Each structure stands twice: as C-alpha cells, then as structure tokens.
Amino acid sequence: MATAFAAMADRPPAATTAAPSTVFDKIWDAHLVKRLDDGRDLVFVDRHVLQETTSAQAFDGLARAGRAVRHAELTVATQDHIVSTAPGRDEATNPAGRELLGLMRTNARAHGIPLFGVDDRRQGIVHVIGPELGLALPGSLLACGDSHTSTVGGLGALGIGVGTSEVEHVLATQTLAMTRPRNMRVTFEGAVEPGVTAKDLILHTIGALGTAAGQGSAVEYAGAAIRRLPVEARLTLCNMSIELGARLGLVAPDEATVAYVRNREFAPTGSALAEAARYWLGLRTDADAMFGQEFTIDCSRIAPQVTWGTSPQDVAGIDAAVPDPASFADAKRRELAAAALRYMGLEPGTRLAGLPIDVAFIGSCTNGRLSDLEAAAAVIQGRRVAPTVRALVVPGSTAVKRAAEAIGLDRVFRAAGFEWRDAGCSLCVSVNEDTVPPGARCLATSNRNFENRQGPRSRTHLASPAMVAAAAIAGRIVDVRREPAP
C-alpha cells in the first residue's frame, strides 16, 4: 500500500492557467475529472478514509447495487466514534458499539481495505490519523464521511467531509460530484499574545464572522501569524472551518509542512518526496487572485476564548462576561442567545472567569494531538485536579497516546488526577459510554457545544487545551495567562 500512496504524490503539477488563481483553485483543478451537466464538478479522490458510523450503510448500498470498491488501495478504515476509551478496551467493551465496529471489520476484510481498528497501533480519530500517517498529503484531495475532514487543510490538502450516500459513491468510483466551493480568505495580522492558541484564533474568528460566514466556501487562512503556527496548530485551525460554515479550510504548504510530512508511514520518500515537495511548495495563491469574500483578523486583540452558549459563535474572551441577549441587533440572534443562556444555566453579566465546572475534557480531532497534550501538561505539572471535577485526557490516536507516554505526559496527568484513556472521539460527541451528566458543566477542547452534545442536558463550553487544564485544577474557568507558574 505504501507504494500505491507514494505513487499518488507523483501526480503531474496542475496545469498552469493564465488567470491568477488561489491555492484552492490549483489543487481543485488538478483533481478535476470533468464538469458535469448539472453544474457540479467531478473530482478525483486521492485518499478515502472511513469511520464506523457513516460507512456501514454505504457498504450496504454498494452490495445492493452489486458494485465493487474501485480503489481499495487508496482507502483506509478506522474505528473512532463509538469505541470505548476505557484503557485496554476492545470492540466489545462498549456494547452499543459492537454491531457497527463488527460491520466495519467485516466490510473492510471483504473489500481488502486496511482497517486500523481498536487493536491497531495506527488507530485513532480519522482526522488525527490522516496527517499522522501521511495519508493526507499537501496538494491532495481527501474525502471522508465526516464533517471535520477539513482538518487536513492544515497540510495544504483539500479535506472534504461527505454524507453516507457520497461515501458509497467514492467507494464505487473514487470520485466525488460536488459544487465547486467559492474562494474565501481570512488573513491574520498582528502578533498573537502568549497563552493564545490556534483554537482561540479560530473561535474568535467564528465569533466575529458567524457560523454561516463560510457557506459554500473553501477558506484559505493566510497572514504572518498563520505562517508562524506549527503544523499541528494549523490542523486545529482548519478543523473548525466547519463551524465557520465552510466546506473546507486550508493553509498553503511551506517548509514546515514538508518537514511534518517527512518520515510519515505512507508519505513518499527519497527522490519521490523531493519531487513532490517541489510541487507542494509551488502551491501558493497568486498575488492578484480573486476571493469571493475576504476578511482580516487582528490577532493582537485576541484573548483566550471561551464559549458561553450553544453555538460555536457564542464566544468571548476570558476577560468578558456572558452577554445580555438584548445586546444583539438581530432579533433571531436575540432569541437564540436567550434560549442558549437558559439551556446553559447562565445569567447575563456573569463573568466567564470563575464559572465552576464539573468535567474537564482534553481530546478530539480539534485538540487531541501531542502538542495539545503537551500544552495541557505544562499547565498541570505538579498540581492536582479540583476534587469537584472529573478530568479526562483522551488522546486523538493510539500513536499520540504512545508518544505522550514515551515523554512521561501520562504520569503528569495521572499524578494530577486526570483519567488517561484510550484513543477515540469520546466526550466530543458522546456516542460511546463517555458522557457529561445532565445539568453538569464541561469545559472541553472539542469543536461543538450544541445542546445535548455531551449527553442529555449536558452544558459544554469550548476552549483551548491550556485553558481546560487550568480550569480542571482551579475547579472553575480561569484565565490561563493569570495562573501562577507551577
């Protein structure tokens, strides 16, 4: 399989067009198979990644239609959503997950698709393992039956989240029929303050522009502040393009991207890598390229962010208070904010700093990578979790878990009173056995704070790993920048 994946990187460079174009245009055009009569584009999918909750029906459909998997060698499967995260778990640990996990194993075997299941060292959240294993490469197009496929945009790849019927289409044809996304750019200017992370940049952006801003768009994140972000932070940023309403998000590849890709299990090596890197580094937006929408964000004014409501756009800096719904100009927004405060059990004017929490969750495809765990551990080192808090670390992949253990992070978390669990989606979506009790308040590093997301009547606030770590210790939401050094 490694050879097949490596060969994919040898694709010819995009045909140079006369008109100035964006990095998105260049990658899209390199994948264009044909323009369909209905106005959509048919694009080639370099990698197709499967997760258990959206693939079973797709395989059923394929069987009913009597079709085969077109390119099993460009497809991989993992088990992440419904898996138990209890240490030492297997497919049967979460009884509710047995059927879907079993179906994935049977389907993968029947079609010759490699499965990185619960017992595999390569298992993990689909959007974490793509970059980690070199399945997602700069300039590639990756599809997955999961909305946050946009994560891989951090490498300069097009990550397209699709529904179950499209999973079936990709399995059968290795192509995707889709309306070409519009170009949108968000440029980040100014210096980012210490204690402010990629998670804060994207939460702030969603708050400023709204969850509908990116509709139908491919968002390019640009600017000096983005160039300075390590690749894992770019993955966090692109992950939440979905909460900005976009189809995908991306950061143009640079030397940091190439360095990240080097030595990944399925990435090209040797002269194939050198040749691919030349192509990747040419994937830049031309100076005069046109964007349907352009926004600029001033990073110097961004504080660590915390959500107060039930949409990711309900967000404010840690030094702010819960807003008065009456303060919103738009009538619909006023109504939604009032409903959100009722659900969250919050009063207008209450400071976000100081809100007591019951659960602290560090993990997910947004913030479950090694650098996220390192940032959290740096805050926790030598301290204890407040007795009123249940604190969990759920690494984004088995490889992240092992890498963290190799540098002793598990000991830091355990000594502080955190649970150190096996890899999976866990409390991000609570379709396994991990839940937040009704009415309880959780500060989480994940990407969605919808009603009931972490269990019936659960209350979710979103923040960065360092902020969640600091809150777990304090027992309440605090400003990580003001915490005394350990």
Ligand X SMILES: CC(C)[C@H](C(=O)O)[C@@H](O)C(=O)O
Enumerate binding residues for ligand SF4 (CB under 6 A). Answer: 81, 125, 127, 146, 148, 364-365, 425, 428-429, 446-447
Site of tokens 């092992």: 402
Q: How far apart are the first and last CA of the chain?
A: 47
Choose which of 26, 31, 48, 81 interacts with ligand X (CB under 6 A).
81
* Shortest CB 365 distance to ligand SF4, Å: 3
For residues 217 and 446, which CB has a smaller minimum distance to ligand SF4 in the complex?
446
For residues 188 and 361, which CB has a smaller minimum distance to ligand SF4 in the complex?
361
Rounded to the nearest 5 degrees, what angle is found at the Cα of 278, between the Cα atoms of 274 and 279?
120
What gap in Å lies between CA 40 and CA 107, rounded to an integer? 30
For residues 341 and 442, which CB has a smaller minimum distance to ligand X in the complex?
442
Sign of CA dihedral 107, 109, 112, 113: positive
* Shortest CB 147 distance to ligand SF4, Å: 7
What gap in Å lies between CA 293 and CA 286, rounded to an integer? 16
Radius of gyration of the CA atoms of the chain, in A: 22
125 binds, among ligand X, ligand SF4, none (CB under 5 to 8 A by kind): ligand SF4
* Shortest CB 148 distance to ligand X, Å: 6
User: Do 158 and 179 meet the contact criterion of CB atoms below 8 Å apart?
Assistant: no
Binding of residue 127 to ligand X (CB under 6 A): no
User: Do 431 and 278 meet the contact criterion of CB atoms below 8 Å apart?
Assistant: no
User: Do 23 and 251 meet the contact criterion of CB atoms below 8 Å apart?
Assistant: no
For residues 14 and 235, which CB has a smaller minimum distance to ligand SF4 in the complex?
235
What gap in Å lies between CA 475 and CA 311, rounded to an integer? 24
Q: Using alpha carbons, list the distances in angstroms from residue 314 to 38, 159, 178, 193, 198.
A: 37, 26, 30, 22, 18
How many of the other CB atoms lie within 10 Å of CB of 246? 25
Stretch that binds ligand X, among 142-150, 275-283, 411-419, 471-479 (CB under 6 A): 142-150
Binding of residue 449 to ligand X (CB under 6 A): no
254 binds, among ligand SF4, ligand X, none (CB under 5 to 8 A by kind): none
Choose which of 429, 436, 442, 463 interacts with ligand X (CB under 6 A).
429
Residue 296, both tokens: 């600029």
Binding of residue 366 to ligand X (CB under 6 A): no
Closest Cα to residue 242, out of 250, 252, 230? 250
Site of tokens 């059927």: 99
* Shortest CB 358 distance to ligand SF4, Å: 20
- Quick note: the x/- pattern for ligand X over 27-66, rule CB under 6 A, is --------------------------xx------------
410 binds, among ligand X, ligand SF4, none (CB under 5 to 8 A by kind): none
Rounded to the nearest 5 degrees, what angle is found at the Cα of 257, between the Cα atoms of 124 and 144?
40
53 binds, among ligand SF4, ligand X, none (CB under 5 to 8 A by kind): ligand X
For residues 358 and 434, which CB has a smaller minimum distance to ligand SF4 in the complex?
434
For residues 82 and 258, which CB has a smaller minimum distance to ligand SF4 in the complex?
82
User: Which residue has the closest beta carbon to ligand X?
Assistant: 147
Stretch that binds ligand X, among 66-74, 95-103, 146-154, 378-386 (CB under 6 A): 146-154
Helices (H) and strands (E) in the chain, counts: 17, 19
* Shortest CB 228 distance to ligand X, Å: 28
* Residues of this chain that bind ligand X (CB under 6 A): 53-54, 81, 146-148, 429
